[in-house]
Chains A and B, each alone.
Chain A
């Protein structure tokens, strides 16, 4: 893709500790606001087809709503069973109020 950055949310609409979601092409993206910083990961758990944006976020760790797999949002690292495949993390930049992510 020539244009890699995609708008997925508005910064002003993100709330601390909550998770927004967006679809870009065939990808689903979860957007997090943690300690004032915006992060983005793939939204689909690597264990089963579940949206992480329906999960539980605490201390920078997202827990999948289906089977409690846990990932560190900043790094995408899988934190043990049932997940052992890391989740993709996407680069984020802010342009005005727009939250842009870079896929792939």
Chain B
């Protein structure tokens, strides 16, 4: 525990994230807030996915399922049962985790590519199910009544609130990732990633560990799903269970380097920056997907350990600051 609390990396990280969060508030800049909302959201998605992907070595293409399910549960209790935002966030997070725990008990028996395929199947099943599930509004989804924002001082204030809450969640994601990485549990996950059969013989209860990792990875996406769709005002299946977005989060982790805490953060921020700068440039706009694809291919072929992995390898001195 001492090692965690005294780590310079932890404190520098918290300070940077907190600074990023207060920056649009201090300058009262809604455009910047919207940009940073996406970046913080992707950082949390990438950090949480990294628990099952980076530490445990299970390739999950369906991470967005937890975001979508949490969003649906949260918007449902807000719009139909008239609950407030905070209980809705709890419902979203716990709902996503319970779902992950039950699902994990079934699909975490699969290994390698079979697991990856199953997660694609789960994503598409949820997408198709949501479109047919009438309590969730079927294909049209659910819309929040505008009145709900009044509870939080009007729509303008509600957006700031959503941002502040997201920033808090992101900092929690960061601290939790760091604690997991430095814990016995995290070491167990990494052993599973390296060699699951050896892990079992070494005394690691692999089914339990894998499922705990999967369940933990689902919790924060469930919460930010509620925040995102609260800010949006409505939720519909295509946006909640968007397979492309799952894969984008994977790409972010690859870009930064998986199995570290700073990798997903730097990867998510870089990816969002690159994408938004490509989209605003009229010349590059139509080619932004091509450029992103070429970039991804180049990273995979030439720097497969990601930006952070590469820096850590080149400059060992910075390792304490780049865990």
- Report if A and B associate in a common complex: no
